[in-house]
Structure 1
Amino acid sequence: MRHDVLIVGAGPTGMVLALWLAKMGVSVRIISKASGPGTASRALAVHARTLEFYAQAGLAEAVVTEGFQVGGVNLWVGGERQAHVALDETGARYTRYPFLHIYPQDRHEALLAERLQAAGVTIEWNTTLVGFEETADGVIAHLTLPDGREETAEAAWVAGCDGASSTVRKVLGIGFPGGTYEQTFYVADVEAKGPPMNGELNIDLDSADFLAIFPLDAGARARLIGTVRETDAEAGQMTFEDVNRKAVESLKIEVTKVNWFSHYRVHHRVVDRFRKGRAFLLGDAAHIHSPAGGQGMNTGIGDAVNLAWKLKAVVKGEADARLLDTYEEERIAFARKLVGTTDEVFSLATSDGNLARFVRTRILPVVAPFAARIELLREWVFRTVSQLEIDYRGDFLSEGEAGRVRGGDRLPWLDLGEGRSNYDGFGDFSWHVHVYGYAGHLLEDWCRANGVPLWIFPWQTDFEDAGLARDAVYLVRPDTYVASAAHAASTEALDDYFRIKGLKLPLV
């Protein structure tokens, strides 16, 4: 059987891509060389932007209910808490999810697999991609099945969501430049007592050994993510006792039980290309970096959401194939920026150099308490870490400006009261037009004739605070980014946008 999309890899990135495509009526086949969903809770953090995407697919409520909400972040230097940021206060005007959400990856993957099954897609575990070649209208993939038999599979497109050692990337011959951090990362799930066991995220920047303490509940359990320098003779031999005293002594943490401990080296790399012919790279197959900011899994999910609606449009004949070029354009720029930023921040936090140590131990204790009280700075940090700040300004699909909102921006989220928001209608994965104020009959007729949902929100002064312009027309993409922003309700401009971008009307 020929499928529209063959997805290689069934971690969160691959499963989100499969789920989004299935919900949009695209035929998918998803395989994984793993024996089943992960049993180790590697990635923990689910950021606000990911939860917004999950709300579109009816996933957010389950994730939020099952996980643990972190409402604040603390910065420790010299054994003392130097700064505190309340996330729920900082982010409440930007999103329905103003917190850092802890949801262990093993439970996360199990939920995604369950929802995929309900959508009629069965993950084929213990199935390995050996290689593939491109044809005039698709790809022919060579698979090894669980019983050792070989099979040839056909698909129109292939998506490599198969991790840092991606077979898809190797078959394509795409470079993966970057480097490896000198430090060894360790991860420990512990039960403990002490001041940082407060149900919030705690970060210690005292020494060159970085340590972040992610709560797993309100105070009894936590995950320690830290770094330590190993000699060649010590490589692969580390135990928790080797890092316990140095890593947690200054924070007065008393570890009573270690439930899981692992250590590994981390790379920082971005591929040269996110697409080659009929194949795409997503998630760790395309970019890897320090785990300290909890960005990796969320970035891979963002890749999947960005590509899914574009693949659907091309598969269903709603757009020219050139739409798929915008996946690389939009996501590779962000990946390079993210890897560069996390590398710089992590290097400063872990450097043995005199300047870096002076900044951490002398400058930060003085500056951090004042910086944490600056509202604009707190909000910027929240928007950046939660990935609400990602935009595609200046890219092919992004046009215009109205108010402070430009084409390529994430549509500002608005609390409309009584549990309602302007994001409530995006569950159909379609294009939408938003007007805050008066729309007019011409625009209403155009939207009706072209199958584009029109949302008209009576004007409120709070909308201007969010950057929106009164009576402006915002054309919103299926992933809730603004495609076009214009002050005048010109239906000709909307026609031109769809024609120039290779998108076909009416939408069906």
Structure 2
Amino acid sequence: MVSDTQRPRVLVVGAGPVGMVLACELLAHGVRADVISKLRRQSPHSRATILWPRVLELLDRVGVGRKLVDSGHYFDQMNYYSQKKLIGLIRFDRLQGVGYPFAITIPQWRTEAILEEHLTALGGTIEYDTTFADGTQDPDGVQCRLQLADGRSQTRTYDYVVGADGYNSAVREAFGFRFAGRTMRTRLAITDAEILGETTSSEAAYYLTRTGNMVLAPLGDGVFRVGASVPDDYTGDTPDRAFFERLLAERVPGARRLGEMKFSGLFIAHVRSAGTYSSGRVFLAGDSAHAMSPSGAQGLNTGIQDAVNLGWKLAGVVRGDYRTDLLDSYDGERRPAVDAVAGLSTRLARIGLYSSRHQTLARDAVYRLGSTTQTLEKVLAPKLAQLDTHYGARPRRRSLVPGERLPLGWRESPAAPVLAVDRYTVLLWPGHQYRYERWTGLVDKLRAQLTAATVSDLGGRPPGPLLSKLPREAHALLVRPDGHLDALVRLDDSTPAAAVRAVGQSLARHVLPRAAAPQLAGLPA
């Protein structure tokens, strides 16, 4: 008989990138999960191709960041054209305090293959041809009726269920989540194809005209993702070579001809959001929770951010390390963050479809001026890269604010502290004036007592983007497992015992008093 600690405690419905990232987070931290998928991989042709810098950082902590980069195509510049003339550009290689100052293009099927390989290495499996039929929940668990591959119906009980099953989510429907929004008027056509005589480079480009727009993103080996808004008079179902070549001639400078087309398709974009991303023991992530315009290529990246935000919290709660009310923060943190990304994508889509002369002239002037002054890059690059995701007050330029992303990562580095993957990290900052002997004693005491967290002495090693925001006085920085600042605890006048108590009390907002955290003994559970 399977013991309670060994049995699967979480059901993940959906085995796309979002569901697999979440399952990998759980498995890596000792939590068994059942992962089910209604269908096997449907097609090697997919819409999502770009992974942005912040998501590559987060995939480092999952364990697949470097492999994805090695398997993808590097790009670090976005060019913008209007009426076939260059009006602006954004460079990502000038981003500061970033583990990956670039993005990659990679077909979604390849991302999924790498994630599934990693999930299998962690001891997980995916039950294909298995459908979530319906479910109910009570204070003690979630009862799920599944349709198995052999046609049998089976009821299983889980502690928690996560719907990562896409836009037509069965989990969202079964548990009564509201999913409001609108369908965008413009249809979009996509293909992955060779462009004859064109060498794939490190630049992607948007081509804006008064009759529609087009995007070319290099995938490597001479192949490009080609996307275009569809003219209103087009009535076909599957755009052919002549369709794309006509739009290339109308919208893109130079004579372009397509070689081999890998696939071709039409789709309509939606802008929608669930009223909440959590209800009791049931959570939504990725396209199950939100849909947005494809402008800016933010959808998949946003879903992976959902998975990481929920994954470490859910793993800690199931393990018994964290307080259950930590799960309440998932909706409160992710929904505003997603709304901001969706708003940006909608604005980019609207700007890209300007058709009147005065609109395009004003837009083009802003792009030209913004590029000349690098204002466009400073404002837009962190947003596209999803580096400005924060959970709380908006980060300030000269001081740290709880909820902001810290410019640190999970890869070994001689130049900066490394964050813990499976627990909080306490970074000790001595301030600008301190006594060496007293500080080393304080550091040693905290390291010995704070066993619920990894303790690291920032000392002289804070990276520049962080150093400029650190306070003058000695502080402990409590950093969440996802790399966001949780709290600042002042230490400058504390004795070692008082410092342990102060940091322990701050940790105790989320961490339960257990044998693994003796410094929390005596604090309320």
- SS at 1:388's partner residue? coil
Name the CA shift for 1:311/1:209 in 2 (closer, same or farther; >3 Å): same
- SS at 2:227's partner residue? strand
What is the aligned counterpart of 2:228 among 220, 226, 232? 226
Matched-pair contact (CA < 8 Å) for 1:401–1:486? no
- SS at 1:293's partner residue? coil
- In structure 2, what is the Cα distance between the partners aligned to 1:40 and 1:145? 26
Matched-pair contact (CA < 8 Å) for 1:56–1:429? no
Name the CA shift for 1:486/1:193 in 2 (closer, same or farther; >3 Å): farther
Q: CA deviation at 1:208?
A: 4.2
Matched-pair contact (CA < 8 Å) for 1:161–1:285? yes
In structure 2, the residue matched to 1:446 is 446
- In structure 2, what is the Cα distance between the partners aligned to 1:464 and 1:176? 39
Q: CA deviation at 1:501?
A: 4.3
In structure 2, the residue matched to 1:407 is 402
Q: CA deviation at 1:235?
A: 6.0
Matched-pair contact (CA < 8 Å) for 2:408–2:418? no
Q: CA deviation at 1:377?
A: 4.1
Sequence identity percentage: 28
Matched-pair contact (CA < 8 Å) for 2:80–2:88? yes
What is the aligned counterpart of 2:475 among 463, 472, 479? 472
In structure 2, the residue matched to 1:456 is 457
Name the CA shift for 1:239/1:230 in 2 (closer, same or farther; >3 Å): farther
What is the aligned counterpart of 1:157 among 156, 160, 176? 160
What is the aligned counterpart of 2:50 among 45, 50, 66? 45
Matched-pair contact (CA < 8 Å) for 2:405–2:484? yes
In structure 2, the residue matched to 1:424 is 418
Name the CA shift for 1:248/1:60 in 2 (closer, same or farther; >3 Å): farther
Name the CA shift for 1:48/1:422 in 2 (closer, same or farther; >3 Å): same
Name the CA shift for 1:171/1:234 in 2 (closer, same or farther; >3 Å): same
- In structure 2, what is the Cα distance between the partners aligned to 1:133 and 1:272? 19
Length-normalised TM-score, structure 1: 0.90
Task: Give CA-to-partner distance per residue, 1:212-260, whole Å, 9 cap, x none.
Answer: 1110127x221112211445x8263544433431344342222233221
In structure 1, the residue matched to 2:367 is 368
Q: Structure 2 unaligned runs (5+)? A: 432-438, 493-498, 518-525
Q: CA deviation at 1:376?
A: 5.1
- SS at 1:368's partner residue? helix
The aligned length equals 494
- In structure 2, what is the Cα distance between the partners aligned to 1:484 and 1:506? 23
What is the aligned counterpart of 1:104 among 96, 103, 107? 107
Matched-pair contact (CA < 8 Å) for 1:74–1:203? yes
Name the CA shift for 1:420/1:76 in 2 (closer, same or farther; >3 Å): farther
Name the CA shift for 1:96/1:260 in 2 (closer, same or farther; >3 Å): same
Matched-pair contact (CA < 8 Å) for 2:415–2:461? no
Between stretches 379-388 and 178-187, larger displacement belongs to 379-388
Between stretches 36-45 and 141-150, larger displacement belongs to 36-45
In structure 2, the residue matched to 1:294 is 297
In structure 2, the residue matched to 1:495 is 504
What is the aligned counterpart of 1:310 among 307, 310, 313? 313
Length-normalised TM-score, structure 2: 0.87
What is the aligned counterpart of 1:21 among 22, 26, 33? 26
Task: Give CA-to-partner distance per residue, 1:324-355, whole Å, 9 cap, x none.
Answer: 10000000111122222211221221144x3x
Matched-pair contact (CA < 8 Å) for 2:320–2:512? no
How do residues 336-415 of structure 1 correspond to structure 2 at under 5 angstroms? 336-352=339-355, 354=356, 357-360=357-360, 362-375=361-374, 377-394=376-393, 404-413=399-408
- In structure 2, what is the Cα distance between the partners aligned to 1:234 and 1:22? 47
Q: CA deviation at 1:195?
A: 7.3
- In structure 2, what is the Cα distance between the partners aligned to 1:268 and 1:12? 20
1:278 equivalent in alignment to 2:250? no
Task: Give CA-to-partner distance per residue, 1:355-378, whole Å, 9 cap, x none.
Answer: xx5332x23443423312334541
Q: CA deviation at 1:444?
A: 3.8
Between stretches 457-466 and 271-280, larger displacement belongs to 457-466
- In structure 1, what is the Cα distance between the partners aligned to 2:483 and 2:461? 21
- In structure 2, what is the Cα distance between the partners aligned to 1:299 and 1:423? 26
In structure 2, the residue matched to 1:129 is 132
Between stretches 480-489 and 56-65, larger displacement belongs to 480-489
Task: Give CA-to-partner distance per residue, 1:295-324, whole Å, 9 cap, x none.
Answer: 111111110100111111211222221111
